[in-house]
């Protein structure tokens, strides 16, 4: 069947079960937009800035557990997606980004709105394509979705010259994608699984250190089973939050720079560290030679490059986390050497030691009577949503307080720009999350600085009836940088004071949204309740204690045991 390139694109989206795309039109993609208008069962969300389209697609992918899609025009439309693509790349989020391109005959001519987006995004995509021949269009799209969602997921970009989408192409029914060069390893090596399980049986002070890979591979149930079976405590990276129930007695919360005292102490004193879908990022390890110095390390990851990149691993397992953890569960279920009661008894002193650390320095903050503490706001959000909201964050203190105090019990409920640390991620991500889960409560925990980076999306949220809630922890500062300046730069607050700020309540109203403000602790709960009961976009402006810091904190380059505490 002959169809136009644009029609072929619509058909391919349907093949991939794409129901929602986020985008912004322009000259090079008019043909595609013309076709979108005629395509039923595809919702196009018109964002107000292309960066937001990619963040929204990113969060949509995380909530759905499938591929998110963005569509933008050539030139500036394409360059505006770079931050979103780089963020998805570092967080291994499956998205496909379609960019328009000038007609093939003009490529390389410095034509109007021409940019080499394939060249620009080469280092921050899992793979990318420029489709020069219309007959390659359909196979390329199918391959792109395959690459994005398999193996270690990631963003894939397809650059579409205007004449290619206007050309007639032959549409064939989809075949399974076969690639000569790309075959991710899903199944673990049984020998390595056995080695790992035997090491676990010997360990007296084991710790699970889990990351985003657990969530991406939906390994949370298998991991919870394994942890409980073996009485092994679990700590999570920022990306791993929700991969293990945050309120479980075995949970130690987050580790690393702003991790809990007890998680960092446990890792430092462990004799076996079992890393699952995590990548030993510098924000997790601190000074690398002081990270888990006495531990043997087991590392499960689908990406071989993650293994032994930052620390030398004793037992590497290249596999999908879900498959590998399931294989470990069944090894223990079969093993004659494994006695659940005996192992629990062996680990009891270790769990007791961790409990002592926890009692000594629990996660907390100094309460004040008249000033709103940001941690209190997050705790209240948790309480009033029963921990069931989808939470997105911006980047900085707001992100860390959200990570510390909203105890995520389920995967795919925390969307944050972990690797790249994008201010401006949270609000468009909230829109993406709401489009993926229209019935859920979605809250963007934001700062007054970062919310302004994509504040224009208020219009998008309104237009598509996404009743997302924005909780601004407003301290009139770029708080995280200010905290560093306070601690390490003798309080020289260079350019971190936001002297001129909008009135966020009026700003919300200007977009037809609802604005609420709390200036006293007693107003926090009523404001949240009112926001949750409002079927509209709501900005909650919480005026918080200005110079509140995020603690514990491991100063950059220090060992994770050298924490600054509250």
Partner 1 sequence: MKHTISVLLQNKPGVLSRVTGLFSGRGYNIESLAVNRTLDPEVSCLTLVSDGDDGIIEQITKQLHKLIDVIKVTDMAETDFVEREMALIRVKAEAGTRAEVLRIIDIFRGKVVDVSPRTYAIEVTGDEDKIQAIIDILKPIGIQEIVRTGTIAMARAKKN
* DSSP for residue 559: B
Please tell me the distance from the alpha carbon of residue 284 to that of residue 286, in angstroms, as a whole number.
6
Q: Tell me the CA distances in angstroms from 554 to 212, 378, 484, one per residue in order.
A: 21, 22, 11
Of residues 307 and 326, the one with the C-beta less far from partner 1: 307
Verify whether residue 208 is a known catalytic residue: no
Binder among 122, 204, 340, 520 for partner 1 (CB under 8 A): 122
Please tell me the distance from the alpha carbon of residue 92 to that of residue 46, in angstroms, as a whole number.
25
Sign for the pseudo-dihedral over CA of 445, 448, 453, 456: positive
* Residue 470 interacting with partner 1 (CB under 8 A): no
Mask 140-179, x = binds partner 1 (CB under 8 A)?
A: -------x-------------------------------x
Q: How far is the CB of 133 from partner 1 (least distance, A)?
A: 12
Q: Which of the stretches 3-11, 119-127, 272-280, 349-357 binds partner 1 when contact is defined by CB under 8 A?
A: 119-127
Q: Is 495 left (phi over 0), alpha (psi -120 to 50) or beta?
A: left
Question: Considering only CA atoms, which of 91, 92, 112, 90 is closest in space to residue 101?
Answer: 112
Question: Considering only CA atoms, which of 372, 407, 418, 414 is closest in space to residue 543?
Answer: 372
List the beta strands (DSSP E) in 350-453.
390-393, 414-415, 442-447
Of residues 287 and 361, the one with the C-beta less far from partner 1: 287
Radius of gyration of the chain measured on its C-alpha atoms: 24
Of residues 222 and 320, the one with the C-beta less far from partner 1: 320
Contact 94, 148 (CB under 8 A): yes
Q: How far is the CB of 174 from partner 1 (least distance, A)?
A: 20
For 56, the token pair is 């929204």
Binder among 127, 189, 195, 198 for partner 1 (CB under 8 A): 127
Burial profile 412-431: b = 16 or more Cβ within 10 angstroms, e = fewer: bbbbbbbbbbbbbbbbbbbb
Of residues 188 and 552, the one with the C-beta less far from partner 1: 188
Verify whether residue 221 is a known catalytic residue: no
State the catalytic residue, choosing from 11, 64, 126, 162. Answer: 162
Q: Which of the stretches 64-72, 80-88, 308-316, 438-446 binds partner 1 when contact is defined by CB under 8 A?
A: 308-316
Contact 21, 44 (CB under 8 A): yes
- Distance of alpha carbon 88 from the chain centroid: 8
Q: How far is the CB of 183 from partner 1 (least distance, A)?
A: 11
Of residues 116 and 525, the one with the C-beta less far from partner 1: 116
Of residues 140 and 560, the one with the C-beta less far from partner 1: 140
Binder among 175, 181, 494, 495 for partner 1 (CB under 8 A): 181
Of residues 119 and 249, the one with the C-beta less far from partner 1: 119
Verify whether residue 346 is a known catalytic residue: no
Which secondary-structure segment (H or E) carries 52?
A: helix 50-64
User: Which residue, chain included where needed, has tokens 């799209």?
Assistant: 141
* Residue 82 interacting with partner 1 (CB under 8 A): no
* Residue 309 interacting with partner 1 (CB under 8 A): yes
Q: How far is the CB of 555 from partner 1 (least distance, A)?
A: 25
Please tell me the distance from the alpha carbon of residue 186 to that of residue 179, in angstroms, as a whole number.
16
Of residues 48 and 152, the one with the C-beta less far from partner 1: 152
* Residue 364 interacting with partner 1 (CB under 8 A): no
* Residue 275 interacting with partner 1 (CB under 8 A): no
Verify whether residue 179 is a known catalytic residue: no
Verify whether residue 114 is a known catalytic residue: no
Please tell me the distance from the alpha carbon of residue 42 to that of residue 39, in angstroms, as a whole number.
6
Of residues 127 and 558, the one with the C-beta less far from partner 1: 127
Q: Tell me the CA distances in angstroms from 266 to 256, 273, 313, one per residue in order.
A: 11, 10, 19
Of residues 47 and 147, the one with the C-beta less far from partner 1: 147
* Residue 341 interacting with partner 1 (CB under 8 A): no
Q: How far is the CB of 508 from partner 1 (least distance, A)?
A: 41
Query: Could you tell me whether strands 95-101 and 155-161 are parallel, antiparallel, or unpaired per DSSP bridges?
Result: parallel
Cβ neighbours for 25, distance < 8 A, ≥ 6 positions apart: 33, 46, 73
* Residue 137 interacting with partner 1 (CB under 8 A): no
State the catalytic residue, choosing from 14, 112, 488, 530. Answer: 112
Q: Which of the stretches 121-129, 206-214, 269-277, 331-339 binds partner 1 when contact is defined by CB under 8 A?
A: 121-129
User: Which residue, chain included where needed, has tokens 């879900």?
Assistant: 322
Q: Which of the stretches 302-310, 442-450, 455-463, 484-492 binds partner 1 when contact is defined by CB under 8 A?
A: 302-310
Count of residues binding partner 1 (CB under 8 A)?
18
Q: Tell me the CA distances in angstroms from 365 to 94, 113, 240, 405, one per residue in order.
A: 37, 51, 24, 11
Binder among 194, 225, 303, 486 for partner 1 (CB under 8 A): 303
Binder among 126, 322, 358, 380 for partner 1 (CB under 8 A): 126
Q: How far is the CB of 282 from partner 1 (least distance, A)?
A: 15
Q: How far is the CB of 464 from partner 1 (least distance, A)?
A: 34
List the beta strands (DSSP E) in 403-549.
414-415, 442-447, 469-474, 514-518, 538-543
Residues annotated as catalytic (active site), given as ranges: 50, 112-113, 162, 480
Binding site for partner 1 (CB under 8 A): 118-119, 122-123, 126-127, 130, 147, 179-182, 303-305, 308-309, 312
């Amino acid at each position: 069947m002959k169809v136009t390139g644009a029609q072929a694109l619509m058909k391919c989206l349907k093949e991939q079960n794409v129901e929602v795309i986020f985008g912004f039109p322009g000259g090079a993609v008019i043909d595609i937009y013309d076709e979108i208008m005629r395509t039923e069962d595809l919702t196009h969300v018109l964002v107000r800035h292309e960066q937001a389209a990619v963040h929204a697609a990113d969060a949509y992918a995380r909530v759905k557990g499938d591929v998110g899609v963005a569509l933008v025009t050539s030139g500036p439309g394409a360059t505006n997606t770079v931050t979103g693509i780089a963020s998805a790349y570092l967080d291994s989020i499956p998205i496909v980004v379609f960019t328009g391109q000038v007609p093939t005959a003009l490529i390389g001519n410095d034509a109007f709105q021409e940019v080499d987006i394939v060249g620009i995004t080469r280092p921050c995509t899992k793979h990318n394509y420029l489709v020069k021949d219309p007959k390659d269009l359909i196979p390329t799209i199918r391959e792109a979705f395959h690459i994005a969602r398999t193996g270690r997921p990631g963003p894939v970009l397809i650059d579409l010259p205007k004449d290619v989408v206007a050309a007639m192409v032959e549409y064939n029914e989809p075949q399974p994608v076969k690639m000569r060069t790309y075959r991710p390893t899903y199944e673990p090596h049984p020998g390595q699984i056995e080695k790992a399980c035997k090491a676990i049986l010997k360990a007296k002070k084991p710790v699970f250190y889990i990351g985003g890979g657990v969530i991406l591979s939906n390994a949370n149930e298998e991991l919870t089973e394994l942890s409980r079976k073996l009485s092994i405590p679990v700590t999570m990276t920022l990306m791993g939050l929700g991969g293990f129930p945050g309120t479980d007695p075995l949970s130690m919360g987050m580790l690393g720079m702003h991790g809990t005292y007890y998680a960092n102490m446990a890792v430092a004193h462990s004799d076996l560290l079992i890393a699952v879908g995590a990548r030993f990022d510098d924000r997790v390890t601190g000074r690398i030679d002081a990270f888990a110095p006495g531990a043997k390390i087991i590392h499960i990851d689908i990406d071989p490059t993650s293994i032994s990149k930052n620390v030398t691993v004793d037992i590497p397992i290249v596999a999908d986390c879900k498959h590998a953890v399931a294989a470990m569960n069944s090894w223990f279920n079969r093993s004659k050497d494994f006695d659940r009661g005996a192992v629990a008894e062996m680990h009891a002193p270790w769990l007791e030691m961790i409990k002592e650390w926890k009692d000594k320095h629990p996660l907390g903050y100094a309460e004040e009577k008249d000033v709103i503490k940001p941690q209190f706001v997050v705790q209240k959000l948790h309480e009033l949503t029963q921990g069931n909201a989808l939470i997105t964050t911006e980047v900085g203190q707001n992100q860390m307080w959200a990570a510390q105090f909203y105890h995520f019990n389920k995967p795919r409920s925390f969307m944050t720009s972990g690797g790249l640390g994008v201010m401006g991620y949270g609000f468009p991500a909230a829109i993406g999350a709401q489009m993926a889960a229209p019935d859920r409560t979605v809250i963007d925990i934001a700062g007054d600085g970062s919310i302004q980076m994509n504040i224009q999306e208020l219009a998008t949220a309104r237009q598509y009836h996404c009743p997302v809630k924005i909780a601004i922890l407003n301290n009139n500062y770029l708080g995280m940088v200010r905290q560093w300046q306070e601690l390490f730069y003798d309080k020289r607050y260079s350019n971190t004071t936001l002297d001129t700020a909008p009135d966020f309540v009026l700003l919300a109203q200007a977009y037809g949204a609802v604005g609420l403000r709390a200036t006293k602790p007693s107003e926090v709960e009523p404001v949240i309740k009112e926001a949750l009961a409002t079927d509209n976009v709501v900005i909650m402006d919480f005026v918080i204690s200005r110079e509140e810091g995020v603690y514990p904190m491991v100063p950059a380059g220090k060992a994770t045991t050298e924490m600054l505490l509250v």
